[in-house]
Structure 1
Amino acid sequence: MKDKISMPLIEAMLQYKSEDVYPLHTPGHKGGRGMQRLLRQELGGSVQMDVSLMSELDDIHEPETYIKEAQELAAQTYGSDACFWAVNGTSQAIHAMLLTALNPGEKLLLPRNAHRSVAGGLVLGGIEAVYLQPEYQPEFGIQMQVTVQQIEAALAQDSKIKAVLLTSPNYYGVAADVRAIADCCHAHNAVLLVDEAHGPHLGFSELLPPSALQCGADACAQSTHKILGAMTQCSMLHVQGARLDLQRAADVMSILTTTSPNYLLMASLDAARAQVQVYGKEMAAAAVQAAAKLRSLCAAYSGLRVMETADCGGLQLDTTKVTVNFAAWGYTGVEVGELFREARVAVELVDAYNVLFLVTYADVTTDYDEALARIAAVLDKMQAQKRAPLQLAAAAKVPQTQAVLPLRDVFYRAKKAVPLAQAAGKICGEQVSFYPPGIPVLLPGELVTEEIIAYCRAQKELGLPVSGPAASSLQTIRIIAD
């Protein structure tokens, strides 16, 4: 019966709450008794379930009962051999994948548009990166995916590459050819790791791309909180097959996990798994249908371009990610995002020419329909005030970079700040990203060029927020000190 689905950790927490035990233990707010009044009111009864690590509720570092059972249920739901909860988000799960699959000094093949968190894993593991440039979609001005042909050529050329990392689907919903790439990796005795942050709902509908696990990936990191019902920063790491050591994965996850994990966060992972295990197909169908309404709304406006599967060069598209290009109307994505926000609609991402709406199974209420009406009102006003079309310029395409020093070496080197305008020819000492999507423009150890400086200035002029540098204004940048 669907109503009888098990949520082991939540059931244990509710049992503990019902016993009305007086807590002479952490946390210090003692079930909300000492918490600031406004926050306590907003949190309600859930604050009584903010408890500390105790044997009655199991230990994520040594799971034996409720957490163990809940993680096993998650593995069954997704078809993996093991699932590990990540309470520090998919960044933690990505770090764990890298530290499980690779030893210090070994090589990882990955796309240059990998998420900024990957750089942290490279530093932690002393891993050498070999970058591939993903294909570029000029009409929307975004990077897509690397191809199996690129990966085959790289693996054939360098036998020291031990693992390949993909970001699939990417932020815009474009999925790589994971199945073909998995076969290619395994033929070269390399493991395939997938940053599937934006794909925990894949595999539950034939209308969406298949999941990384279904395509043969050895491990994947999923942001359960991004698309499903878990609380923010709650993710999962899945491992399957014999190419990765499950005990090493468990050890690495323990190292990267706080010894005081929040039980409400873990409970939300338990609940999100239960939802998708029972209602996954219905949830995926609801998301696709809700996104279709938004797609149809935007596509009805002449000049607006909505990204479709046909724009993806033969790759599959997660249609619950709705990317709309406003270049023909003369508006940047940043400007459009601000107009929507003024209308009480907050979008997922803006870039030079696009706005990205993230639609999920939760967008089935009258609130969503009202939001669509406000979007339409904004579009009506914009249509009446169209400008000269924007030309897709170099500002949209991330320049290629050249690595001079390994990331880990740079991490421990002395650095100094110099004006960005004077940094050309210097070795970058910090990461520079525009977030979202969080794709590094520069990584520590890469050469700063005039082209990169121009790109960074263009992004700042568009109003895109910078992430990574010590000086968020980007007036200065840290370089390796002579």
Structure 2
Amino acid sequence: MQSRMPLVEAMLKYKNDGVYPFHTPGHKGGRGMEQVLRAELGAGAAAMDVSLMSELDDIHAPAGCLKEAQDLAAQLYGSDRCFFAVNGTTGAIHAMLMAACRAGSKVLVPRNAHCSVAGALLLANLEPVFVMPQYDAVFGINTQITPQAVEEAFSRHADIKAVLVTSPNYYGQAADLAAIAEIAHTHGAALLVDEAHGPHLGFSKKLPPSALQCGADACAQSTHKILGAMTQCSLLHVRGGRIDLARAAEVMSLLTTTSPNYLLMASIDAARYTLAMQGAALADKALDAAARLRSVLGAFTGLRLLDNSCVGHNGVAGFDLTKVTVNTALWGYTGVEAGDALRRAGVAVELTDACNVLFLVTYADGGADYDAVLNKIKNVFAEMERHKRAPQPEQGAYKLPGFTTAMPLRAAFDATTESVALDAAEGRISAEQVSFYPPGIPVLWPGERITAEVLAYCRRMKALGLPVSGPADYTLQKLRVIE
């Protein structure tokens, strides 16, 4: 059965039937689309941008080709239900938390959770119980929460209903999900995993196991980040038992548009097919491409590469070698500066931070143009090496500050607010979320007491030139606080 693409096949049949569309979308198979865009997309893609037709099924009540496509994805990954998410993993995370918890429930949340988690907690009116992740001062990375920290949180909050873990993190570091699953289940809680960066895990022994293989009750995956789906495409996997599958379907429908893009959903179906047919081989191809990049970077004295040696430290239980993180601190450069130099050379990277550059490598890399790209990267770092500066100190300054809850998240979101200067915000209660993106980890949540430590962190991140996400004032000169 995995050798089929039921949704793709149904869409192709509809296109090839030559039906004249007296239905949405208004561009009518590309006839009314701006020609520049149509030429770039191609006539085939424009013709396949179709709408809710009986033969193409309905994502809100799947009974035909969409149901079959989602069932095949569930079968492949080992879940009881799989839902195609066309609002990205953000939408899948919102649905995952709302499906697992009722309003007012407590959820264990890592301090370095993605900003989408804050949105989910707010929408579902849930209470976060924050746990601090471990910290790698050499790379300046907030890594993973430990099983011990999870157990300690249950000793303080026995009524936690769900444990949320981000695994792997942006840098490819996986948490000890098996141990955390056992702890959560012992306490009657569900394990929910933000697995945005791990839709390829579980298909090769050379990579960490998947969240579902480790005992997760639900996970949200970004099919577009690592696999062949189009941007915005994700999967939500749910297992029954601790989570009501009917409620999961109800919540997913509630949060999903009634006009989902069929090209996006078809790309999920196609990505699942590719993974099913070639999973292990694709992993080998990605790992080989990553190894070639690591070889280029590893030839430079003073550049440090994140690798398997991180396993067993700072809460890290596994590592995805397709994520290539190079640390430039010993050369005196920030990751932002290195990323800018690469971009000027025609190479765009996934993430830059205070002292790191992250290259996201997938099975799509390693083709005919790859050697030329590696040579560009080599030349950029050779130029940086010729102009080395004094080494930066270890990066303790980028450890996430602690969290002080002053009022419930939802109450803060609904409260009357005012704007104050950043320097005058200390001691006030934040009315908005502040993240630096990527990786999109909030340093401030609504309802959080603004401390001197938080403000200092914001100033340091702002000085790096990282984009600000969340607040009304994206220059971060002002913050919205509770009156």
- Tell me if both proteins adopt one fold, taking TM over 0.5 as the criterion: yes
Instruction: Letter of the 1:379 partner, please give it.
Output: F
Moved over 4 A (4+): none
Partner of 1:446: 448
Partner of 1:34: 32
Q: What is the rounded CA distance, in whole Å, between the counterparts of 2:192 and 2:386 in structure 1?
A: 47
* Conserved 8 A contact 2:111-2:400: no
CA contact (8 A) 1:425 1:447 kept: yes
Q: Which residue of 1 aligns with 2:291?
A: 292
Deviation by residue 1:152-205 (Cα, 9 ceiling, x = unmatched): 121133221010000000011000000111111111111000000000000011
C-alpha distance in 1 between matches for 2:349 and 2:464: 17
Letter in 2 for 1:55: S
1:390 paired residue number = 392
SS of the equivalent of 1:192 reads strand
Match of 2:410 among 381, 405, 408: 408
Deviation of residue 241 (structure 1)? 3.9
Letter paired with 2:13: Q
1:174 matched to which residue of 2?
A: 173
Corresponding letter in the other structure for 2:183: C
1:451 Cα deviation (Å)?
1.8
- Residues in 2 aligned to 1:296 and 1:60: alpha-carbon distance in whole angstroms: 45
Q: Does 2:339 align with 1:340?
A: no
Contact persistence 2:140–2:396 (CA under 8 A) = no
Per-residue deviation at 1:401?
Answer: 2.2
The answer for the alignment partner of 1:215 in structure 2 is 214
Match of 1:269 in 2: 268
**Residue number in structure 2 paired with 1:97:** 96
* Aligned counterpart, 2:16: 18
Distance 1:427 1:368 in 2: 50
Q: Deviations over 1:271-306 (max 9, x none)?
A: 000000111111111111111111121111100000
8 Å contact from structure 1 (residues 309, 315) kept in 2 = no
The equivalent residue for 1:153 is: 152
The answer to whether the 8 A contact 1:395-1:459 is kept is no
> How large is the RMSD of aligned CA atoms in angstroms?
1.1
Aligned AA for 2:45? S
Give me the whole-angstrom Cα distance separating, in 2, the residues matched to 1:471 and 1:84.
Answer: 35
Distance, in Å, in 1 between the alignment partners of 2:399 and 2:180 is 25
Mapped to 1, the partners of 2:460 and 2:80 lie a distance apart of: 46
- Is this contact kept in 2: 1:218–1:239, CA < 8 A? yes
Identity percentage of aligned residues:
62
- 2:231 maps to 232
Alignment partners' CA distance in 2, 1:201 and 1:101: 24
Q: What SS does the corresponding residue of 1:366 show, helix, strand or coil?
A: coil
Shift of 1:113: 0.4
Equivalent pairs counted in the alignment come to 479
Residues 394 and 455 in structure 1, CA contact (< 8 A), matched pair in contact too:
no
Partner amino acid for 1:140? F
- Name the SS for the 2:369 alignment partner: helix
The answer as to whether partners of 1:83 and 1:236 remain within 8 angstroms in 2 is yes
What is the TM-score when the length of structure 1 is the normalising length? 0.98
Q: CA deviation at 1:455?
A: 1.4
Mapping 1:40-439, distance limit 5 Å: 40-44=38-42, 45-312=44-311, 313=313, 315-439=317-441
- Cα deviations across residues 361-404 of structure 1 (Å, max 9, x unaligned)? 10020222211110001011111111111113553222112111
Q: Deviations over 1:303-358 (max 9, x none)?
A: 00001121241521111111110000010000000000001000000000000010
SS of residue in 1 equivalent to 2:162: strand
In 2, Cα distance between equivalents of 1:393 and 1:70: 46
Q: Is the 8 A contact 1:223 1:235 kept in 2?
A: yes
Does the 8 Å contact 2:137/2:396 carry over to 1? no
With normalisation by structure 2, the TM-score equals 0.98
Give the deviation of 1:110 after TM superposition.
1.3
How many angstroms apart in 1 are the aligned matches of 2:371 and 2:246? 48
Q: Which runs of 5+ in 1 are unaligned?
A: none
Task: Give, in whole Å, the separation in 2 of the partners of 1:353 and 1:364.
Answer: 26
Q: What letter matches 1:29 in structure 2? A: H
CA distance in 2, matches of 1:5, 1:407: 46
Quick one: which amino acid aligns to residue 466 of structure 1? V
Structure 2 gaps, min length 5: none
